[in-house]
């Protein structure tokens, strides 16, 4: 059974940066989309950013210009560089990987931004 392993969360002051990484416990063939979602307390899970196999990206309006998603296809790894962090970015961040037939979620990593 394949698992997603996330790293890079933590506590940072407003204006700071963090880099999240997510990799698979075993190689997954045919990954179409890799992405990051987040869920703040009392709110629904929302898309932060995703990246397709061809390299096209999609960002939530709230993070455009501050966050950058990238991927290493050979390593089945996706990254999220988060700059100029704001307190409203505080949430649990979840990695998501999808093929044409399967989807996988990571356990989540906490990101806390203090004001």
The tens-digit pLDDT sequence of the chain (115 residues) is: 889 999 999 999 999 999 999 999 988 888 899 999 999 999 999 999 999 998 999 999 999 999 999 999 889 999 999 999 999 999 999 999 999 999 999 999 999 999 9
For residue 1, the model assigns a pLDDT of: 84
CA distance 102 to 106: 14
**Residue range 63-83, pLDDT digits in tens:** 999 999 999 988 999 999 999
CA torsion through residues 46, 48, 53, 54, sign: positive
């Amino acid at each position: 059974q394949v698992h997603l392993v996330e790293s890079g969360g933590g506590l940072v002051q407003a204006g700071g940066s963090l880099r999240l990484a997510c990799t698979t416990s075993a190689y997954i063939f045919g990954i179409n989309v890799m992405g990051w979602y987040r869920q703040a307390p009392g709110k629904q899970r929302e898309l932060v950013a995703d990246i397709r196999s061809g390299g096209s990206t999609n960002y939530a309006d709230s993070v455009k210009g501050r966050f950058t998603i990238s991927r290493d296809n050979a390593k089945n790894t996706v990254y999220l560089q988060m700059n100029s962090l704001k307190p409203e970015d505080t949430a649990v961040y979840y990695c998501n990987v999808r093929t044409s037939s399967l989807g996988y979620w990571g356990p989540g990593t906490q990101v806390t931004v203090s004001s």
